[in-house]
Amino acid sequence: MPKPRLRCSSLDQIINCPASFTLIPLVVDTDEDSEASTQGNWCHAQAARRLIEEHGATTPTLIKFPKHYEPDSIDNWVVDFYLEEFLDQVPGDWAIEVENELAYDYGRFILTGHQDALAVSPDIETAVAVDLKRGRVPVDEAGANWQILGYLVQVKRAYPSLKKIIYSIIQPLAMPDLGYERVSTVMLEGDRLEQAVPFLTGKLEEALDNPSLLQTGWKYCRYCPVANTFQCPAVNAHVQEMKLTLTKDHIAAIQQQPDLQQLGEWTVDRRMLAGLMDKAAKLLKEQIGNEPLILERDGSRIILADRNGQRRIESEPGWQKLVEIFPSEECYECIRLSPTEIEKQLAAFFKIPKTSKKNVSGQSEFKRIFGSITHQDPTTELIIS
Ligand code: SF4
């Protein structure tokens, strides 16, 4: 059997849910490239190109830009921020390499990982490296991030003479106001750097020794192709195990009100499952056909029905009409151009009922003023009974 190849970007998942490594080869990854990943790819390519052209960086690969993608001002700002943070830490005479894929054999597995940017001092004793995150969802900070530990170990392997490595995650769109730093850094030197390799390999060997241990967690399940096929036994257990035998322990654990831990667990589960549930409904809509689907589990009946879609107002003439009718405060309330909100504001402003069969109402005024620029496309919906 070939040695398993573990990617640094999947270490969090492999360490926490070792069985994912057993299941992933059995499924086809159905996740399409999202807009977010295209944006991220463009920012990485642009940052690499600028480091090569403006700072003499080298690369072993061809820098590829996503096709047909037009970057916006946020993308360019992300790249500027990232380069400034990286170059601030790098003296002018250090060698910089970008987009370097490293792969090393650690006995029972091969670890692979992609370094966004790495700078090494002329005496090859110190290195500074950075990992760019284009997304807004905060990641674990560098000092508690398995992916970064994997990268650190790979850099040490590539340059065994290094005595100190400083590794930063740069996430320009993280929100410091909410307590998420845009830059987090970990520094390993001396013994701690030497011990990083056996520490990580020990953790990964432990995971490989537990190929049946499944554990859900939204941080890693959301990137897992098994979750995307709706066949992960652990995720499905979250959703389906709604029948069990009440025990004394259950009764003892019931409180009059849910506590913060319970509310937190529901919130995290919602985060983990909401995207999957939306995707399942989308796939079902595409495949269900005209016959009702009866669930074996509980007899639930699902059909596809035609519905009127959401009402949508043409934005430019919609705004013109709003500013003609309302002072600024009411306009602000209608900022989403929601027909329902506009009906409410019309009713309040003109002191008329919101709905009425006989008299002028918010609804009838909406129809009179906005009717010609409001559209409602037909749509289909899954009805469950
Ligand atoms: S979906 Fe989550 S629990 Fe299931 S295999 Fe993947 S990471 Fe593990």
**231 and 337 co-located in one domain:** no
**21 domain-assigned:** no
**Which residues line ligand 1 at a C-beta cut-off of 6 Å?**
13, 17, 19-20, 23, 214-216, 220-221, 224, 226-227, 232, 234-235
**193 domain-assigned:** yes
**230 and 379 co-located in one domain:** no
CB atoms under 10 Å from CB of 281, counted, come to 13
**117 and 179 co-located in one domain:** yes
Q: Are 348 and 354 in contact (CB under 8 A)?
A: no
Q: What is the DSSP string of 286-315?
A: HH--SSPEEPTTT--EEEEEEEEEEEEE-H
Model confidence over 316-357: pLDDT tens digits?
999 999 999 988 888 888 888 999 999 999 999 999 999 988
pTM of the model: 0.73
Q: What is the DSSP string of 45-113?
A: HHHHHHHHHHH--B-SS---PPTT----HHHHHHHHHHHHHHHHTS-TTSEEEEEEEEEEE-SS-EEEE
For the CA atoms of 332, 335, 340, 341, the dihedral, rounded to the nearest 10 degrees, stands at -20
**17 domain-assigned:** no
- Residue of 13, 218, 224 with the most ligand 1 atoms within 8 Å of its CB, for mutation: 224
Between CA 219 and CA 13 the distance in angstroms is: 8
**112 and 225 co-located in one domain:** no
**3 domain-assigned:** no
Give the number of domains in the chain. Answer: 3
Model confidence over 202-255: pLDDT tens digits?
999 999 999 999 988 888 888 888 888 888 888 888 777 666 677 778 777 777
**222 and 198 co-located in one domain:** no
Model confidence over 132-141: pLDDT tens digits?
999 888 888 9
Which CATH number is 74's domain given?
3.90.320
**353 and 204 co-located in one domain:** no
Ligand 1 atom with the shortest distance to the CA of 233: 4
**172 domain-assigned:** yes
Residue 357: the pLDDT is 85
Q: Which protein residue has the closest C-alpha to ligand 1 atom 2?
A: 221
Answer yes or no: is pLDDT of 29 > 80.
no
**149 domain-assigned:** yes
Least confident of 29-33, 196-200, 216-220: 29-33
156 exposure class (CB count in 10 Å sphere: 0-12, 13-18, 19+): buried
* Summary mean pLDDT of the chain: 90
**254 and 335 co-located in one domain:** no
**7 domain-assigned:** no
**60 and 141 co-located in one domain:** yes
Among residues 177, 208, 239, which one ends one of the domains?
208
**278 and 314 co-located in one domain:** no
Among residues 156, 175, 208, which one ends one of the domains?
208
Q: Are 58 and 95 in contact (CB under 8 A)?
A: yes
**367 domain-assigned:** yes
**198 and 239 co-located in one domain:** no
**262 and 315 co-located in one domain:** no
Q: Which protein residue has the closest C-alpha to ligand 1 atom 5?
A: 20
The secondary structure element, H or E, covering residue 5 is strand 5-7
**261 and 350 co-located in one domain:** no
State the residue range of the domain holding 256: 218-286
Tokens 């709905």 identify what position? Answer: 355
